[in-house]
Amino acid sequence: MRPSGRQPDELRTIRLTRRFTKHAEGSVLVEFGDTRVLCTASVEESVPGFLRGKGRGWVTAEYGMLPRSTGSRMGREAARGKQQGRTVEIQRLIGRSLRAGIDMEALGERAVVIDCDVLQADGGTRTASITGGYVALADAMTTLMERGQLKRSPLHGQVASVSVGIYRGVPVLDLDYPEDSEAETDMNVVMNDAGAFIEVQGTAEGHAFRRDELDAMTTLAESGIAELIRHQREALEAS
């Protein structure tokens, strides 16, 4: 039934390639099927003005799509001098989500910027960004511990994300682009490894969804994220 032949509750092939580039404290290429996002974590020994002198750290995210990561070329945001509303929305979501997994006082007065740049898009770039961004953040924390700048990791839980939706009347997990562009409802869910919710964003595209559909999508997301949490753990345990 799904264009890809997947089962309704089946994720795409997930790959998390650590140390994809050499400069960043954390650098992860995350792949959800054909969606490929390069997530880097950059540590800066200063915080934004509103936090200065408070002994607390900060995590923020920026998101971008390479102009030809998509089927038809999109204008380069740097050239137009403006980030689109969609971009702003997504990078705010990624930042909020990852901040939910870290203890800002344990991080200390430093900032981590998670850059999520989409090399190839095929649906689900924001959920891939959160899932891969968490791994980059974890690697950056390890780097700080190895350098002796942190005694213990300020992370207090894993964070991962997946999309769910109603596609041709059926709740499905991890929509790819052909599904996403046709789905009646699309919901992005962010959870931690304790099975609790960090963010739920559901939007009716075609027709409004009923309470039972909301519940079914939520349940599907719970199982998908549990699997992504395992993928993250395996990637981080590999040397």
Interface residue list for a copy of itself (CB under 8 A): 21-24, 27, 34, 36, 38, 40, 42, 44, 62, 64, 66-73, 76-79, 81-83, 85-89, 91-92, 96, 100, 113, 115, 117, 119-121, 157, 187, 191-192, 194-204, 207-211, 214-215, 218, 222
CA distances to 18, 62, 70, 94, 104 from 51, rounded to whole Å, are 31, 19, 37, 20, 11
Instruction: Round to whole Å and give the CA distance between 91 and 165.
Output: 21
In the bound complex, what is the minimum distance in angstroms from residue 14's beta carbon to a copy of itself? 18
Is 70 labeled as ligand-binding? no
Smaller CB separation from a copy of itself, 66 or 236 = 66
Instruction: Round to whole Å and give the CA distance between 44 and 104.
Output: 14
- Lookup: tokens for 113: 């910027």
Instruction: Round to whole Å and give the CA distance between 114 and 11.
Output: 24
In the bound complex, what is the minimum distance in angstroms from residue 196's beta carbon to a copy of itself? 3
Is 96 labeled as ligand-binding? no
Instruction: Round to whole Å and give the CA distance between 35 and 31.
Output: 5
Instruction: Round to whole Å and give the CA distance between 226 and 178.
Output: 24
In the bound complex, what is the minimum distance in angstroms from residue 80's beta carbon to a copy of itself? 8
- Lookup: tokens for 17: 């390639």
Smaller CB separation from a copy of itself, 96 or 230 = 96
Smaller CB separation from a copy of itself, 14 or 118 = 118
In the bound complex, what is the minimum distance in angstroms from residue 1's beta carbon to a copy of itself? 24
Is 142 labeled as ligand-binding? no
Strands 58-65 and 26-32, sheet pairing: unpaired
| CA atoms within 13 Å, Cβ hemisphere of 211 | 0
Work out the angle at residue 5's Cα, subtended by the Cα atoms of residues 123 and 228, and round it to the nearest 5 degrees. Answer: 55
Is 126 labeled as ligand-binding? yes
Smaller CB separation from a copy of itself, 38 or 107 = 38
Instruction: Round to whole Å and give the CA distance between 155 and 93.
Output: 18
In the bound complex, what is the minimum distance in angstroms from residue 224's beta carbon to a copy of itself? 15
Smaller CB separation from a copy of itself, 16 or 151 = 16
Annotated binding site: 86, 124-126
Binding annotation for phosphate: 86, 124-126
